[in-house]
Structure 1
């Protein structure tokens, strides 16, 4: 039997939703208690190991997801098999495009992750009935568009050093939304994936990591764990001053 409790506004919100780390920052934050209860009846949580495919390019979309924890990488595949990482999504991002039946990208867990899935038809129905939810999804789509334009600038005009520093700043700011300390984090991508994302060679990425480490912009442990002593300095190396 589902356990519920009253929140401070006397709303019947499912306990699992009240305890959800992503609810207030994600799309669920604009839903009423009644709508959250309806969505909760159909939702399922899944823990995904790194490398697990969430959905493949060209597949029929049967559910959407809220990212609860971890990083999801988005890739596009060409007809000849070549592929490009075109984006990263973090908690509490919404994964999917309402009212679109076929996925235009492949989404794969870049790290061990957790997602909350709900059927496409259930959320599409809520979108039609809830202007706030429609606006929230619209705002996220515009945010992703702005970020994509900024990333086009990074890829098209920045130096190799600025590209790598920009990537590190992106990860530091987004990888753990619950943490107040952005200075320490684990890289969610391999050197090969970072090179793919930045349009560089693996050798160039490795050289830039070494240079940033020698100049004490970053500290690296176990090849994946990073510490940034001065975030403003990293921003300057990223060309964002």
Structure 2
């Protein structure tokens, strides 16, 4: 086991403990850190353009990123959300298949494309971690197909709240709080519902005591068990 020190900027980073950096050796981590830059972005700021050239990748270290596709007639479809410690960017592809936008205030740890791809080529541990994450993303995408294809409006809204609670919520085993990274319009887009339907379902969850909402987007799940039941 190497006794080489880990870069100080990496010590409390979720990507170091839960993301791709968790499988890097101290020397690999230091190499990545030397080539990394930390950036902050306001909510609504564009982070990547669909069909834009990919020059680098980034670990999400704080906040949430929304991923979308744009149709030829200009219609936009929200297709995913990313949270810490997700890796933003499509490896080994010349152009981005999706647009990325800061859903909330976001912090990223960015590194050049060549640096990460060289690490992937030389590290079997990193290859396995990326494969595991890709399969996990595939499982989540298939689960979301079930949500959109078979679940009721009430179940869809509960499923989205449960997803965000699991990824960014803080609290106890059965009660967590989080700031919803997207508004009602994006929620409706993501769930294939109208804004009015989303608002109705959120109100029903509030009135039944499953969640509490304060301010514009602060949500407290009063019972995760009840929310899971509502999510079907």
TM-score under structure 1 length normalisation: 0.92
Residues in 2 aligned to 1:25 and 1:73: alpha-carbon distance in whole angstroms: 20
Match of 1:168 among 161, 168, 172: 161
Match of 2:176 among 183, 187, 191: 183
SS of the residue 2:47 aligns to: strand
Match of 2:127 among 134, 137, 156: 134
Match of 1:21 among 7, 10, 14: 14
The more displaced of 151-160 and 220-229 is: 220-229
Q: Shift of residue 20 of structure 1?
A: 2.4
Residues 16 and 167 of structure 1, relative CA distance in 2, 3 Å threshold? same
Q: Shift of residue 69 of structure 1?
A: 0.5
Deviations 1:128-176 (A, max 9, x none): 0001111111111111111000000000000000000001100100014
Residues in 2 aligned to 1:195 and 1:159: alpha-carbon distance in whole angstroms: 13
1:224 correspondence with 2:210: no
TM-score under structure 2 length normalisation: 0.95
Aligned to 1:158: 151
Aligned to 1:212: 205
Quote the RMSD (CA, aligned, Å): 1.3
Q: How many residues end up aligned between the 2 structures?
A: 230
1:4-19 alignment, distance < 5 Å? 10-19=3-12
SS of the residue 1:23 aligns to: helix
SS of the residue 1:65 aligns to: strand
Residues in 2 aligned to 1:33 and 1:230: alpha-carbon distance in whole angstroms: 41
Q: Shift of residue 9 of structure 1?
A: 5.2
SS of the residue 1:57 aligns to: coil
Runs (4 or more) in structure 1 with deviation over 4 Å come to: none
Q: Shift of residue 114 of structure 1?
A: 0.4
Residues in 2 aligned to 1:36 and 1:187: alpha-carbon distance in whole angstroms: 32
Match of 1:73 among 35, 41, 66: 66
- Return 5+ residue gaps in structure 1 as ranges: 1-7
Residues in 2 aligned to 1:58 and 1:167: alpha-carbon distance in whole angstroms: 28
Deviations 1:172-206 (A, max 9, x none): 00014xx4545111111110000000000001001
Residues in 1 aligned to 2:224 and 2:104: alpha-carbon distance in whole angstroms: 23
Q: Shift of residue 115 of structure 1?
A: 0.5
